[in-house]
Amino acid sequence: MPAPNAVILLSGGMDSATAAAQARADGFVLHALTVRYGQRHAVELDAARRVARSLGVADHRVVNVDLTAIGGSALTDTIEVPLDRAVDAMGQDIPVTYVPARNTIFLSLALGYAEVAGAFDIFIGANALDYSGYPDCRPEYLRAFEQLANLATRAGVAGTGRFRIHAPLLDLTKRQIIERGVALGVDFSLTHTCYAPDESGRACGRCDACQLRLKGFREAGLVDPVAYAGLETRDSGLATRDS
């Protein structure tokens, strides 16, 4: 029996790369979907291509959806990306880097791709533990979308299969995600996490996403392999700013 197909939402970040590697380890043939949505950190698109190649995906599609027409987020509008926030403050409210309905849009695109690819399994690197401020990363949301997928598609209604939304990292800390990725052979040097990279694409080390990533590497006792602007050393993942 041939291996089943799965669609993986691949942003180019460490979470989606690890989720994709998990899907591969689970025996799925990977069909990657990346969305160019007008994000200010569009350098992640190049990272997604690198990760897709490294994982040997069967197909990688990049879909254009201009969410700058809606705005309302620091990632798609003129709102400043928060820098140097205390890690303890993250997740206490919905941050300005939340993109309105982003995961609903992305999962809908993945669902359409899944129907075409003959896949009933969709993987997303959502994480509700270290970044619980995002409402569309909650387990109840993902369960609701799975129900929608089986009500709103020809394949679901015809009963030829049942769509499943997989979020294998949902309850993991960043440290655990990194450890899982290392065990699965993920090359984290290929990934991009930062929301405010410089013109050359180097991570800032100061936005929420960078701080959580660095914290995860530090707690895992590993060195983050990506370059950070203005940060000269990364001792076990803890970056220190140039004086």
Domains of the chain: 5-189 (3.40.50.620)
pLDDT tier at 187, thresholds 50, 70, 90:
very high
pLDDT tier at 192, thresholds 50, 70, 90:
very high
Q: Is the pLDDT of residue 242 over 50?
A: no
pLDDT the model gives residue 162: 94
CB-based contact 213:174 (threshold 8 Å): yes
Q: Is the pLDDT of residue 228 over 90?
A: yes
Best-predicted range by mean pLDDT among 90-104, 148-162, 185-199? 185-199
pLDDT tier at 235, thresholds 50, 70, 90:
very low
Cα angle for residues 239, 96, 190 (degrees, 5° grid): 45
The percentage of the chain sitting over the pLDDT mark of 70, rounded to a whole number, equals: 93
**Bridge partners of residue 121, in order along the sequence:** 6, 164
pLDDT the model gives residue 233: 44
Selection from 53, 174, 48, 159 nearest residue 106 by Cα: 48
Average pLDDT score over residue span 77-94 = 88
Average pLDDT score over residue span 189-213 = 95
Average pLDDT score over residue span 158-180 = 95
CA distances (Å), origin 127, targets 67, 119, 169: 22, 23, 6
Judged by phi (left if over 0) then psi (alpha if -120 to 50, else beta), residue 230 lies in left
Q: How many CA atoms lie within 13 A of 46 on its CB side?
A: 8
Q: What is the pLDDT of residues 28-82, one digit of tens each?
A: 999 999 999 999 989 999 999 999 999 999 999 999 999 999 999 999 999 999 9
pLDDT the model gives residue 130: 64
Q: What is the pLDDT of residues 125-146, one digit of tens each?
A: 999 876 657 899 999 999 999 9
Selection from 239, 213, 214 nearest residue 127 by Cα: 213
The percentage of the chain sitting over the pLDDT mark of 90, rounded to a whole number, equals: 81
pLDDT the model gives residue 232: 55
- Residue 102's H or E segment, with its range, is helix 102-117
